[in-house]
Structure 1
Amino acid sequence: MKIAVLGNGIFGSAMASYLSKKRHEVVFDMIDNSEIIFVCSTSNLVLSSLLKLQKEMTNQKIIICSKGFAEEGKLISEVLKGNFKNEIFFLYGPTLAEELEKGVPSSMVLAGGNGKEEIKKQIESKNLRVELSDDVIGVEISATLKNVMALFIGIAQGAGYGQNTAAFVFTKAVQEVKNIGLALGGKVETFLGLTCVGDLFLSSRNRLFGIELGKGRKLDEISSETGHTPAGIFDLKNAQRMVKKLDIKAPIIESLYKIVFENCPVRDTIKEIISN
């Protein structure tokens, strides 16, 4: 099968390598008569990446792997709705790019409507287990907020708290994602699965960045040293706007915003969450 991959960054390259080992023909950043399109670009470029190639599209299935908010702080599904007649699916889960490429056993969730069973047959292997879900909003919200929550989990770790506090913060992060997801129509079981609990378990770049913030270092200092600013920082403002619009309590998002953008002391902020 011919598969197009949009976005040749770390994850896009790893996914292309994996699919090639499955004996699929892979092309980058073009349609070229492909049957499936994997979108692995940064989340704020998903719509523009697809629009550039829209004239070449026919009935290809589109699989979104990008995590985070889209343009204007909207969900990816929101900005794609109405722009494409193609069937759209979301493929997320606790899958580090380097481990996927090396063939380390991994699992992901494919969410969408009709046709996902056939896609599963094409991409699943002995090293990649694919679960199916019809809870698109729950899966998408989990992936969208994952980077934000990973930052806060890292901050608690970097601040020197023990495992008791780490477990508390991790649990509260899962609960907060669940509450937001349920408010938007997600299913509770989704937030106990791979795309929420599973993905938050990973030691991602966002968590590592959070560890440095937890040590008391400034955002600009860490970004300058590492050469990048993680997606969770960009997603944080959008996450705060989302919870305000939904009018629900989100203490981790609110506390993280204070730490990152208002220079509130880390330990005072974490103590406030624990006491409440």
Structure 2
Amino acid sequence: MSNVSFIGGGSFGTALAILLAEKGNTVSIYNRNKEVVDDININRRNDKYIRNLEISSNIVAFNNLEKAIENAEYVVLAVPSHTIRSICRSLKDKISENTIIISIAKGIEEHTDKRLSTVIKEELSNPIVILSGPSHAEEVVLKLPTTLVVTSECMECASEVQSLFMTSYFRVYTNEDLVGVEVGGAVKNIIALAAGILDGLGYGDNTKAALMTRGMKEISRIGLALGGKEETFYGLTGMGDLIVTCTSKHSRNRKAGLLIGSGMPVDEAIKEIGMVVEGVKACRAFYELKEKMKVSMPITDILYKVLFEKKEPKLGIQELMNREKKSEIF
């Protein structure tokens, strides 16, 4: 059995911590919020992020980072994408160089347009594994069948992490396409946010099917331009993650979009969700990136205008529908 440290005590990180603890691993969670730490250690719950949990006794939470990562064989970065660099800097010289870093965040770094594995690599010399795919914490803790994918520059490390997480209800595949896995997991949040807006506006199945299908095209288009493989985008980290985030009641990106589509200002919608809405940050980052690379991403264009230029969502949809005619395959 292994010593696994989670940086961040949010819903998905906690769900994975429970999974690993139930397999017999020794698990620690670092969180800055003392109330979260006390809830885990005293009540064996984490009501701030996910209710009705029974947290295993072999999970211990800490406010102190150094104590949380002591003797860690694996460190799981269960934090929002925009904090990855600062967290990695805080880990520098505090963990063994053999400790495997596992990132479950989905996004790219704003303003630098760097994938998260690149950000981590710039700050730490440790092996890095990305864990991604269609998974909501609320269903993982119920042990509903779930499948994810791991990728890395070190596929031996990816295989090791695959074994670490595999259970009878949590199946993990490997994929050597590091670029594709990361891009797919990031861009789908943009489309999920747009899907929520459609729901808030009262549109139906036809509209959402169109959005998801053309959104899939945008994922593969930017992914291929960045060096990913097309088959990856039609796998778990692309199509799978797109389906679950566009349709699920658990998706915070869809929930935020639903509020925006219902008329709530963007800032208020994000505040109402109470957790980071990665689709907002991803939309800005990929809008800037596709402008530099001259990649066509019309859904991302319109969502950017809605989020940051106060464009009315219905007018945005009309703009999409009234574009010049073209082939589907483009």
Is the pair's TM-score, using the shorter chain for normalization, greater than 0.5?
A: yes
Contact 1:156–1:169 at 8 Å: present in 2 too? no
Give matches, 1:260-275, under 5 Å: 260-275=307-322
Taking the aligned partners of 2:270 and 2:174, their CA distance within structure 1 comes to 37
Q: 29-38 or 138-147, which moves further after superposition?
A: 29-38
Alpha-carbon offset, residue 42 of structure 1: 1.0
- The one-letter amino acid paired with 1:149 is I
Question: Are residue 166 (structure 1) and residue 208 (structure 2) matched?
Answer: yes
> Greater CA radius of gyration, 1 or 2?
2
Counterpart of 2:181 in structure 1 is 139
Counterpart of 1:79 in structure 2 is 119
Contact 2:88–2:123 at 8 Å: present in 1 too? no
Taking the aligned partners of 1:70 and 1:15, their CA distance within structure 2 comes to 24
Contact 2:185–2:238 at 8 Å: present in 1 too? yes
Match among 128, 134, 159 for residue 88 of structure 1 = 128
- The one-letter amino acid paired with 1:145 is V
Counterpart of 2:229 in structure 1 is 187
Alpha-carbon offset, residue 176 of structure 1: 0.3
Contact 2:185–2:237 at 8 Å: present in 1 too? yes
Q: Secondary structure of the residue that 1:185 maps to in structure 2?
A: coil
Q: 1:263 to 1:82 in 2, by over 3 A?
A: closer
Taking the aligned partners of 1:71 and 1:164, their CA distance within structure 2 comes to 33
Which of the two has greater helix per residue?
A: 1
Alpha-carbon offset, residue 53 of structure 1: 1.9
Q: 1:49 to 1:163 in 2, by over 3 A?
A: same
Q: 1:255 to 1:110 in 2, by over 3 A?
A: same
Q: Secondary structure of the residue that 2:171 maps to in structure 1?
A: strand
Taking the aligned partners of 1:259 and 1:40, their CA distance within structure 2 comes to 29
- The one-letter amino acid paired with 1:114 is M
Contact 2:188–2:242 at 8 Å: present in 1 too? yes
Counterpart of 2:326 in structure 1 is none
Q: 1:72 to 1:272 in 2, by over 3 A?
A: closer
Taking the aligned partners of 1:90 and 1:229, their CA distance within structure 2 comes to 19
Taking the aligned partners of 1:225 and 1:167, their CA distance within structure 2 comes to 27
Contact 1:45–1:70 at 8 Å: present in 2 too? no
Question: Are residue 248 (structure 1) and residue 295 (structure 2) matched?
Answer: yes
Q: Secondary structure of the residue that 2:9 maps to in structure 1?
A: coil
Taking the aligned partners of 1:223 and 1:175, their CA distance within structure 2 comes to 27
Counterpart of 2:238 in structure 1 is 196
- The one-letter amino acid paired with 1:219 is V
Which structure 2 segments of 5+ residues have no match? 31-67, 324-330
Deviation track 1:180-214 (CA, whole Å, cap 9, x = no partner) reads: 00000000011101111111212211111112212
Q: 1:225 to 1:53 in 2, by over 3 A?
A: closer
- State how many pairs are aligned: 276
Alpha-carbon offset, residue 71 of structure 1: 5.6
Q: Secondary structure of the residue that 2:155 maps to in structure 1?
A: coil
Give matches, 1:26-37, under 5 Å: 26-29=27-30, 30-37=68-75
Question: Are residue 114 (structure 1) and residue 114 (structure 2) matched?
Answer: no
TM-score relative to the length of structure 2: 0.79
Q: 1:56 to 1:195 in 2, by over 3 A?
A: same
Deviation track 1:233-255 (CA, whole Å, cap 9, x = no partner) reads: 22221121111111111101110
Counterpart of 1:20 in structure 2 is 21
Contact 2:129–2:161 at 8 Å: present in 1 too? no
Counterpart of 1:10 in structure 2 is 11
Taking the aligned partners of 2:85 and 2:219, their CA distance within structure 1 comes to 24
Taking the aligned partners of 2:276 and 2:117, their CA distance within structure 1 comes to 24
Alpha-carbon offset, residue 126 of structure 1: 0.5
Alpha-carbon offset, residue 268 of structure 1: 2.2
Counterpart of 2:77 in structure 1 is 39
Counterpart of 2:93 in structure 1 is 55
- The one-letter amino acid paired with 1:197 is M
Q: Secondary structure of the residue that 2:24 maps to in structure 1?
A: coil
TM-score relative to the length of structure 1: 0.94
Match among 193, 202, 213 for residue 260 of structure 2 = 213
Q: Secondary structure of the residue that 1:134 maps to in structure 2?
A: coil
Alpha-carbon offset, residue 45 of structure 1: 1.2
- The one-letter amino acid paired with 1:142 is G
